Amino acid sequence: MNPILILIAKRLGLGLLTLWFVSFGVFFAIEALPGDTAEAILGQSATPETVAALRKELHLNQPALLRYWNWQIAVLTGDFGTSLSNGRPVSELIGTRLGNTMFLAGMAALISVPLALCLGLLAALWRNSLFDRLINAVTLTSISMPEFFIGYVLIFAFAIRAGILPPMSAISPTMGLPDRIVFTILPALTLTLVVVAHMMRMTRASLVNLLSLPYVEMARLKGAREMRVILFHVLPNALGPIVTVIALNLAYLITGVVVVEVVFVYPGLGQLLVDSVSSRDLPVVQVSCMIFASAYILLNLTADVIAIVSDPRQLHRT
């Protein structure tokens, strides 16, 4: 059997086990939160009788382990349950929100990945120059700042001062693509500034490490230009670590949007997750966390496969 297929099967098995641990941990973490879901839905004026009736209707009077087991069986059959807050199917609630989150992550990826690769390549080409030092200083600064701070700075600069972009990302399903892009620019730029630094620095480090190897010197002695040496001789051998860090940051674009969506009131899956935790809506929280964990695992698996295909020697190190 193909060794790569064996590796993929092993990683998928570990991924499924990880998803089970994630679901178990999230379920009992929500259970440990103070407060009661029925009281949160009915309000403080609810009587003990109405609270008890609602708890029975929502099956909250059952033991936690039994409810967790029933939820697992339902998910395996394709039933993600019903929201405890509004009674709507969880799949219906998550469908639109997941599409919005993927649109935001896709916009950020389209900006950040080419930008990081170009900056890393130029920094390696002009290493130790003023450009290289300036780019490193800027990226270190962006890494040091949290997402919410970058978001508020961009809102102040482009929405309040300049007035050229909307401060809040109030998108809707009926909105056209141009308007949707305009309302998503600021959160996408926030995510870009957070992730581009990691990808750029890894690209530069990988290229610089290979530039001193003998085969690169031979290519230069044959008269190849520096840009051709980097593009055709160095970059293919540096793809492994570069692809890995890109995949990790793409996973962050999907799983790390929670803070950015809250800052810009973006109607995505992260915002829904925060609202659901506040209302103790366990089915929505469970499915949202499973989606985030699945995206992270699949992107890591993709990075491993691409890295091994680009350098088969890594197959013996796994």
Here the CATH number for the domain that contains residue 172 is: 1.10.3720.10
The last residue of a domain, from among 76, 109, 141: 76
pLDDT of residue 317: 56
The reply to whether 295 falls in a domain is yes
Range of the domain at 127: 94-317
The reply to whether 89 falls in a domain is no
Please tell me the total count of domains within the chain.
Answer: 2
- How many degrees, rounded to 5, is the angle at CA 145 between CA 139 and CA 146? 130
Q: Is 306 exposed, middle or buried (0-12, 13-18, 19+ CB in 10 A)?
A: middle
The reply to whether 239 falls in a domain is yes
Q: Which DSSP symbol is given to 160?
A: I
Residues 20 and 145 in one domain: no
Distance CA(30)–CA(60), nearest Å, equals: 13
pLDDT of residue 164: 87
Alpha carbon distance, N-terminus to C-terminus of the chain? 17
The reply to whether 234 falls in a domain is yes
The reply to whether 85 falls in a domain is no
Residues 143 and 52 in one domain: no
Rounded to two decimals, the pTM is: 0.80
Contacts of 163 (CB under 8 A, 6+ apart): none
Q: pLDDT tens digits, the chain, 318 residues: what are they?
A: 677 777 778 878 888 888 888 888 888 887 777 766 777 677 667 777 787 887 777 777 778 788 888 888 888 887 787 887 777 888 888 888 888 888 988 898 899 889 988 888 888 888 888 888 888 888 888 878 888 888 889 999 998 888 888 888 878 878 888 888 888 899 999 988 888 888 888 888 888 878 777 887 787 777 778 778 777 777 777 777 788 788 888 887 877 788 888 889 888 888 888 888 877 778 888 888 888 888 888 888 887 777 777 666 655 555
The reply to whether 87 falls in a domain is no
Residues 37 and 179 in one domain: no
The helix (run of H) or strand (run of E) holding residue 187 is helix 177-211
